[in-house]
Each structure stands twice: as C-alpha cells, then as structure tokens.
Amino acid sequence: MLQGKTILLGVTGGIAAFKAASLCSKLVQRGASVHVIMTESAARFITPLTLQTLSRNPVHTDTFDEREPSVVTHIDLADRADLIIIAPATANIIAKMAHGLADDMLSTTLLASTAQVIVAPAMNVHMYEHPAVEHNMDLLGERGVRFIDPGTGQLACGYVAKGRLAEPEEIVEAAENWFASQRRLAGKRVLITAGGTIERLDPVRFLTNDSSGKMGFALAEAARDMGAEVTVVAGRVTAKPPAGIELVHAESAESMLKAVEQRYGASDIVIKSAAVADYRPVARHERKMKKSGERLTLELERTTDILQRLGERKEHQFLVGFAAETDDLDTYALDKLRRKNCDLLVANDIGMTGAGFYGDTNAVRIFDRAGLVKELPLMTKRQMGEAIVALIADRMEAGYGAGRS
C-alpha cells in the first residue's frame, strides 16, 4: 500500500524521537518516499543525519533553508505529500496545529498541506490528559486528523501510565490501512440526503426541525475519502459542506424527493440521513400572514415518504435509512427498516446527552433485518461517518444488498 507514496514524517522534540529512526526505516522498506521534517527540539534528541541516511532524502529543519531556487520548499513538500505522519507528536505541535500557528518548518508545512495527517502523541500522562490538550485533539479530530493512541508503560518521567509513543509497526499499519481505505468505494456513486426540510407557511415563516446537516456531511466526507463519487441533496443546514462533492439544494420535502428520484437510478449507495418533514401546510400564503385573533389553527397534510418510495423502487442500490427516536429505539428502528426495505437502519436516541441534532457528537445503533449489527458509542460525527461508511463497504464487499439482507 505504501509503494510509490510520498510521506512526510514530522518529528518533534521528545525522548520518543529515537523511535522515528525505526519508523522511517520501515516506511522506506515498504516502498514509500519519506521526507523528514524535524523541529529544533527534535534535533536535540536525534540527529538529522540519522534520518537523512535512513530516508535517503535531505532532512528539513529550517523554513528559510531554501536549497532549490525553483520551488518554495515547504509549499513543495506540502503539495507532494500523499500522507503526513507526526511521530512523536508533542503537546506543543498539537496546539500549533489546532490553532493554525506556523512558526517553524513543520508547522508551516502542515498549514500549507491538504494531505491526510496521522498524529502519534507521546508525552507525560498528565500532559496527555490535560483539558487543553484534550480540547486540541478533539478540535483536530473534527477537522479530520487521525490519532494513534499512545501506549501504556514506563514513561521517561518515571510514571507507568498512558503516554508512550505507539510502536513503529502500529504507525506503519495505520498508514497502510488509510491508503487501503481510499479505494474501497472507487467507482461507486453515493447519494446522501442531509439537513432538515422547510415547509413554508408564508414568505417569512416555515415549519422545520433541528437537523444541522453535520451527520450527512460527515458521511459524505467519509465516502469521498474512500474514493466514491458523492452527491449530497441538502435541505436547511448549519454546517459547512465538505469539498469534493456535488451539492444539490432542496428546500422542501417535495423538492428533495424530486432531486433524489432524478439521481436514484444511477446511484449504488443511498444514505437518507436528512430529517424530512412528515407534514406540510395545506395552504401556503403568498403574502405575510397578519395577526388576527388569539389563536391560529393550521391544517397540515402528509408529505411523501422519501425513504419508503426509495425502498419500493430499490433494484441494485444499497439503501441506508436513519431514525431519530426518543423511546423504544430498537422496536421502532427494526419496524422502520422492514417497512421501508432498507439494507441498514441507523438509529439514535436524541434524548441522550451528546447525541442531539446540533452537536458535534453522536451515538447510534445500526440494524439489519436480523437485528442489531453494531453499536457505536459516543464519538464525533466525523468518526461516526467513517465508521458507518466503512460498515457499508464491508457489507457490500460481502455481497449484502441487492436482494440479500
């Protein structure tokens, strides 16, 4: 998986920097072209010459040490990278990454790159568990940075606790797994609905719900990163859509239905994560409604059930539905899956702390016709999106869907 890949290896200042030599060697042995960037502190623990010898490439330590007049070195490295690994990663570099600081060669290159970043922290256990460090890692996780948890053992400070740098073999495996995941959905067309729909009463008022679109966009990002061609049909959203996808705006349940039906036949995977209104006003006023009396009665009518329509028309598509419940989650989820002919149904208890519409985290239970498939504990919606899309890829590779459940 690493053959011919360009990997930037960032080494920061900690006693675990000595493991960077073994990591660099193993990456090169797997066929990667490794370019090492060291911080000034890292060079106090291990010499640049060691990593230059192992990588067979110059080691970079100074932003202003420009060796090739035709390029700006940190921009060139940032553009060429297929993957960036920071190992060991100190609390200092994690803070710089979280807050966009660029005061040395490594942090400047990181800020200029759009490549995937894998971070392997190594530090004293109290530093690792400090609220500021935890906040910075959470922030980076929301942006897509992947972390390799440190191990538990004897630390240089004398503690026996969590904080040891993961072994080089683990870091190499994480890199290989990331590259492997990039092509799992290559050639597949994925259609996702996101956000909440709007059903207008008049030009200034409407009925809607609390959906933010964050979960749908996280799913889209995960599918895109696995090589799929992704289209998102989005209603009302408060989250920023990811790059590299086709975005189609659909305000009402009716417009979302039309947009989805137009694309359904050409789709391989359909994930209906949008919160679509079940009812809409019978009458829509062309002008702003004026106050008249102490009460207002609205007459509502049912909207078309998009998921049910898709289940009835399903041919080759792998269909995934979502259900937000407040009670009897398992019962309602299984009933919805079977009635609407889904291959998987993702259900969450919106009354659970941290699992609501507006938050950045979620916890779900995933079902197929046989029952519970997987339970995912509270995690960021980006992590949740990756886990759900990975499960879909697993099921498709095993032949599920298209008539087999």
Out of 157, 180, 186, 298, the active site residue is 157
Return all residues near 360 (Cβ < 8 A) that are at least 6 apart: 142, 214, 380, 381
66 exposure class (CB count in 10 Å sphere: 0-12, 13-18, 19+): exposed
1 exposure class (CB count in 10 Å sphere: 0-12, 13-18, 19+): middle
- Between CA 240 and CA 140 the distance in angstroms is 16
Residues counted in the chain: 405
> Binding site membership for CTP: which residues?
278, 288, 322, 336, 340
Q: DSSP 3-state assignment of 287?
A: coil
Q: Are 313 and 264 in contact (CB under 8 A)?
A: yes
Q: DSSP 3-state assignment of 349?
A: strand
Distances (CA, A) of 385 to 190, 292, 364: 13, 47, 11
Q: What single string gives the DSSP state of each residue in 215-256?
A: HHHHHHHHHHHTT-EEEEEE-B--SPPPTTSEEEE--SHHHH
- Between CA 149 and CA 99 the distance in angstroms is 21
Q: Are 209 and 249 in contact (CB under 8 A)?
A: no
Tokens for 195? 């956000």
Q: Are 146 and 119 in contact (CB under 8 A)?
A: yes
Nearest alpha-carbon partner for 166 in 181, 147, 179, 180: 147
Distance separating the N- and C-terminal Cα atoms of the chain: 32
- 157 catalytic? Reply is yes
Beta strand 361-368 with 344-349 is: antiparallel
Number of alpha helices (DSSP H) and beta strands (DSSP E) in the chain: 13, 19
Q: DSSP 3-state assignment of 313?
A: helix
Active site residues: 157
